[in-house]
Chains A and B, each alone.
Chain A
């Protein structure tokens, strides 16, 4: 018998996990597609009427209904839609005629930039604050961190956005009030114009990260091996950073991956306030113009992304936690 190298073995284990998780996700995806398809068919108002506005030549309307398969029975419409989706074709916008996939791919990088900046800010604030609060449990630092976190969870994004625009853009004039500059066009201006929206979006996630880091650190700090490390006479700082933090951070990494989906959803309102032409604004605009194809495509795309993030979180958990790599 040939013994496989440990690296190969763990790689195989991770691969097996990915395949298994995808298989488990399949029925969920099928139900999801039925829900999304059904929901949008319930939308009141005829999309062709909306699209045609005042012009209403019955013959033209009939041709369009035929073209968008609106005359077929629902199950046929559903199967046709799913068949196309599987080939990466989410249909075309009823308003602009552009392929939905193209619209999504054009808007997505904007929101991903916003969400990434928000996640970096949230991690930079939330994780250190959580560590400090845990190390100084029941001190002023702990209370202050908890109070700030609770406020971060309670503040409505769109209101915080308005207040920040009033302070930083209107009164102090240090940051642009709204708008978006592509990162390829002007790197620093792009970052600068996204500072406020990213901060607004980050508050709730920073709060969750702080609370979870704090409780993870607290449970690790009271464990036996930390007591041993302390008893060995190791410096408090060494114990906290090298022994406690490494173990406490594992669930945090997983949590951060899952919270990325929340950031995409939170972007809906943030993009509205700061007039950022991203994914969130796309959803709202599509809902208001009854653009079936775009709404379907965006919601399905978001959900698939969310499921993918879940799988990624599971995989990361195993990759960073060697104990879980060899299931008995």
Chain B
């Protein structure tokens, strides 16, 4: 009983120490600033966008960046800056939703496999190993093709393809925590398995999962852009950075600005999430606590 009380008292203090460490990490702050900047652009896209992202004008086809069109226009005269803002919604949503899917499937499966062990663990682990043998982009392409091309299906495909990583990570963490005194204690006082997992195991395996989730958002954004680039994600005329690059590659010589800006946006957002993930990893590293 005393151990239980102790962990509950120690936990918040440890979390604050992590936050303070994160706030001192300049790279992580820079990453958070980039992410926040793009989130704002996506949220306020209708207010910021100077033009309708779908409005095409045949008198303004492939105009280079100017005061009138900040980042130029595309092959049918749509304003690239406006499309980029709306594209940010697709990219960020893809990153967050697919990781949410991967977390929603992977963490419970990992908890079950690690906690109960035995046959359930064997079955889950074998399937995870089989899926991990297929490179995740190839798995996502195959899944997206199976489900049919759309942004929702691309997110689902990326989420499923990223699930095995979370199952394996969570399972490993649970195995490490399972034998701790506070878990044994919870079991000894007759707490049901479900409650033991949710109250005592989950909070203690969360840090590496949070780090992995942040980094996976970065890979998921690239994956969505890749699928859209191949024509398996966001469908035209809806804007997405990947699909903008797909058309842009046909106008490399005539209209380089069509490629430069959407790709630059992907690069910056992914960099932001990677920086944030690195910072979180350093801040939450148990070896320093």
Q: How many residue-residue contacts, CB under 8 A, span A and B?
A: 124
Between B127, B129, B143, the greatest number of chain A beta carbons within 10 A of the residue's beta carbon is seen for: B129
Which interface class (under 10, 10 to 19, 20 to 34, 35 or more) fits B?
35 or more
A138-165 with Cβ < 8 A to chain B:
150-151, 153-156, 158-160, 162-163, 165
The complex places the Cα of A125 from the Cα of B259 at a distance, in Å, of 27
Say yes or no: B267 contacts A272, CB within 8 Å.
no
Is B100 at the interface (CB under 8 A from chain A)? no
Is A262 at the interface (CB under 8 A from chain B)? yes
Residue in A160, A272, A295 whose CB lies within 8 Å of B142: A295
Say yes or no: B145 contacts A43, CB within 8 Å.
yes
* A35-B130 contact, Cβ under 8 Å, with A154-B267, A156-B222: yes
Residue in A36, A44, A150, A264 whose CB lies within 8 Å of B135: A264
Is B80 at the interface (CB under 8 A from chain A)? no
Q: Give the shortest distance, in Å, between A244 (CB) and chain B (any CB).
A: 22
Neighbouring A residues of B130 by C-beta, 8 Å: 28-29, 31-32, 35, 303
B217-248 with Cβ < 8 A to chain A:
218, 222, 225-226, 229-232, 245, 248
Is B137 at the interface (CB under 8 A from chain A)? yes
The complex places the Cα of A28 from the Cα of B143 at a distance, in Å, of 20
Is A268 at the interface (CB under 8 A from chain B)? yes
Residue in B129, B146, B226, B256 whose CB lies within 8 Å of A269: B226
Is A273 at the interface (CB under 8 A from chain B)? yes
Between A35, A158, A160, A288, the greatest number of chain B beta carbons within 10 A of the residue's beta carbon is seen for: A158
Between A40, A159, A273, A284, the greatest number of chain B beta carbons within 10 A of the residue's beta carbon is seen for: A159
Neighbouring A residues of B137 by C-beta, 8 Å: 265-266, 268-269
* A156-B143 contact, Cβ under 8 Å, with A266-B137, A302-B135: no
The interface of chain A, by Cβ under 8 A from chain B, is 27-29, 31-32, 35-36, 39-40, 42-44, 150-151, 153-156, 158-160, 162-163, 165-166, 170, 261-262, 264-266, 268-269, 272-273, 283-284, 287-288, 295, 299, 302-304, 306-307
Say yes or no: B230 contacts A162, CB within 8 Å.
no
Q: What would 19 more interface pairs be, CB under 8 Å, given A261-B135, A265-B138?
A: A28-B129, A28-B133, A31-B126, A32-B130, A35-B131, A150-B274, A151-B267, A151-B271, A154-B218, A162-B245, A162-B259, A163-B259, A163-B263, A262-B135, A265-B137, A269-B230, A287-B141, A287-B232, A306-B133
* A165-B252 contact, Cβ under 8 Å, with A28-B129, A31-B127, A31-B130: yes
Q: Give the shortest distance, in Å, between B116 (CB) and chain A (any CB).
A: 19
Say yes or no: A39 contacts B142, CB within 8 Å.
yes
Neighbouring B residues of A36 by C-beta, 8 Å: 134
The complex places the Cα of A151 from the Cα of B278 at a distance, in Å, of 13
Closest 3 CB pairs of A and B: A159-B263, A265-B135, A154-B271
Q: Is the interface of A mostly helix, strand, loop or mixed?
A: helix
Say yes or no: A303 contacts B271, CB within 8 Å.
no
The complex places the Cα of A213 from the Cα of B126 at a distance, in Å, of 31
* A28-B126 contact, Cβ under 8 Å, with A42-B146, A306-B134: yes
The complex places the Cα of A299 from the Cα of B136 at a distance, in Å, of 11
13 residue pairs from A and B, CB less than 8 Å apart: A31-B129, A43-B146, A156-B226, A158-B225, A159-B264, A265-B137, A265-B138, A266-B137, A272-B229, A288-B145, A295-B145, A299-B134, A307-B133
Say yes or no: B135 contacts A306, CB within 8 Å.
yes
Say yes or no: A156 contacts B135, CB within 8 Å.
no
Say yes or no: A158 contacts B136, CB within 8 Å.
no
Neighbouring B residues of A273 by C-beta, 8 Å: 249
Neighbouring A residues of B145 by C-beta, 8 Å: 43, 287-288, 295
The complex places the Cα of A229 from the Cα of B8 at a distance, in Å, of 47
Neighbouring B residues of A153 by C-beta, 8 Å: 274
Measured CB to CB, the nearest residue on chain B to A268 is: B137
Q: Give the shortest distance, in Å, between A314 (CB) and chain B (any CB).
A: 14
Q: Give the shortest distance, in Å, between A111 (CB) and chain B (any CB).
A: 12
Say yes or no: A159 contacts B138, CB within 8 Å.
no
Say yes or no: A162 contacts B142, CB within 8 Å.
no
Residue in A151, A162, A288, A303 whose CB lies within 8 Å of B133: A303
The complex places the Cα of A31 from the Cα of B229 at a distance, in Å, of 31
Say yes or no: B225 contacts A156, CB within 8 Å.
yes
Residue in B248, B252, B259, B267 whose CB lies within 8 Å of A155: B267
Neighbouring B residues of A284 by C-beta, 8 Å: 141, 230
The complex places the Cα of A195 from the Cα of B134 at a distance, in Å, of 27
Residue in B142, B267, B278 whose CB lies within 8 Å of A159: B267
Neighbouring B residues of A304 by C-beta, 8 Å: 133
Measured CB to CB, the nearest residue on chain B to A169 is: B252
